[in-house]
């Protein structure tokens, strides 16, 4: 669990890298080197990409994301790296996104090996049938803990996933925002995120070393979640398009801190959270967390493989022509 001290609040306000200790009353002395039993985990995240696959001016583009991902994964080859999307992939999309109803976007996300997605409200606008098709297409978990199908009384998809990240168990719980006034919401029953999180996080806390809420609710609702739900380490959010260069700390009801992060929109940034953990009994606990944003700007080269994939996906499907009748 991430613990808070007055010093930490001051450091955050000053824009200083955040170093967090599990026990606020007994912080370890800060030394130039990490403890010998330190385990590192990197969590990368994007949100509100809104179907903008190509660069927008000198910024963004999923090909720039691919280049940066490759660089980070190469540099972190000896430690686990997770990649998360906090929703709104399809709404306001470019021509390729709209023509394929998101199939092209999910094909590219599969290629980039995302680890989890929580759908945004934009994923519901093309109807539940299309979203279920995209969920079936995804080679990664699509998490909807608070969205139920009225016809079955069951969740639209799995509520959470527990990933093994180099021996560290990471629980990721997905919480969605759905515009209930939109016609696409008629088949759905949406439960209150705080109530759902309270019901599930306690159990996840027993089964995992790190508990992450992957949300498409907006920054203010993420603050409410962190303040009211005990046991949360990290909230990776979307919907409000906030740019949080160092993340934001919120003290939970148990006195522990949750770190809130969000990475703007339209692939302008890739968010990065570096966690350091140490063994405590039979599990791991976080003793340091550092959040930052990596600009995906003109200085980042476009990945040629992803660029070629986009061109291929955008190519019109050739029509089948009838074979000429055999000569008699």
183: three-class secondary structure by DSSP:
helix
Q: CA 30 to CA 96: how far, in whole Å?
A: 50
E strand spans, the chain: 2-3, 39-46, 81-85, 116-117, 147-149, 160-165, 168-175, 188-190, 210-215, 234-236, 248-251, 256-261, 269-280, 283-295
Of how many residues is the chain composed?
328
In whole angstroms, what is the distance from residue 235 CA to residue 215 CA?
Answer: 7
- pLDDT for position 5: 35
All domains of the chain in start order, with CATH: 2-14+39-313 (3.60.21.10)
To which residue do tokens 């906030």 refer?
Answer: 242
Q: Which of 144, 116, 114 is closest to 131 using CA atoms? A: 144
pLDDT at 3: 40
Please enumerate in sequence order all residues whose Cβ is within 8 A of that of 91, keeping only pairs 6 or more positions apart, or say none.
50, 51, 120, 121, 122, 123, 125
pLDDT of the residue at 317 = 66
What is the residue-level pLDDT of the chain in tens, covering all 328 positions? 444 333 333 333 333 334 343 333 223 333 457 877 899 999 999 999 999 999 988 999 999 999 999 999 999 999 999 999 999 999 999 999 999 999 999 999 999 999 999 999 999 999 999 999 999 999 999 999 999 999 999 999 999 999 999 999 999 999 999 999 999 999 999 999 999 999 999 999 999 999 999 999 999 999 999 999 999 999 999 999 999 999 999 999 999 999 999 999 999 999 999 999 999 888 999 999 999 999 999 999 999 999 999 999 999 764 554 544 444 3
The pTM is what?
A: 0.88
Query: Which tokens sit at 26?
Result: 């007994």
- At residue 57, the pLDDT reads 87
pLDDT of residue 177: 98
Q: How far is CA 228 from CA 75, 174, 198, 236, in A?
A: 37, 17, 8, 16
């Amino acid at each position: 669990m991430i613990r808070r001290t007055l010093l930490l609040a001051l450091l955050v306000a000053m824009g200083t890298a955040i170093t967090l200790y599990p026990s606020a009353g007994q912080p370890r002395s800060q030394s130039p080197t990490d403890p010998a039993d330190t385990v590192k985990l990197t969590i990368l995240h994007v949100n509100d990409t809104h179907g903008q696959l190509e660069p927008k001016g000198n910024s963004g583009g999923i090909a720039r994301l691919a280049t940066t991902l490759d660089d980070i994964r190469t540099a972190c080859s000896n430690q686990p790296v997770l990649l998360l999307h906090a929703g709104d992939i399809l709404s306001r999309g470019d021509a390729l996104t709209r023509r394929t109803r998101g199939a092209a976007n999910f094909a590219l996300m599969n290629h980039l090996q995302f680890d989890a997605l929580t759908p945004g409200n934009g994923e519901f606008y093309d109807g539940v049938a299309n979203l279920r098709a995209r969920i079936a297409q995804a080679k990664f978990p699509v998490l909807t803990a608070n969205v139920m199908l009225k016809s079955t009384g069951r969740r639209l998809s799995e509520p959470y996933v527990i990933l093994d990240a180099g021996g560290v168990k990471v629980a990721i719980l997905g919480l969605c925002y759905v515009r209930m006034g939109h016609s696409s919401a008629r088949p759905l029953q949406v439960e209150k995120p705080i109530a759902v999180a309270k019901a599930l996080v306690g159990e996840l806390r027993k089964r995992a070393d790190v508990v992450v809420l992957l949300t498409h609710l907006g920054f203010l609702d993420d603050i409410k979640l962190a303040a009211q739900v005990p046991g949360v380490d990290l909230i990776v959010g979307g919907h409000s398009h906030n740019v949080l260069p160092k993340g934001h700390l919120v003290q939970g009801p148990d006195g522990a801190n949750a770190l809130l992060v969000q990475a703007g929109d339209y692939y302008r940034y890739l968010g990065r959270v570096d966690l350091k953990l140490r063994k405590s009994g039979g599990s791991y606990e976080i003793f340091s967390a550092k959040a930052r944003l990596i600009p995906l700007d003109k200085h980042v080269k476009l990945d040629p493989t992803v660029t070629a994939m986009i061109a291929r996906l955008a190519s019109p499907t050739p029509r089948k022509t009838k074979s000429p009748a055999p000569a008699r």
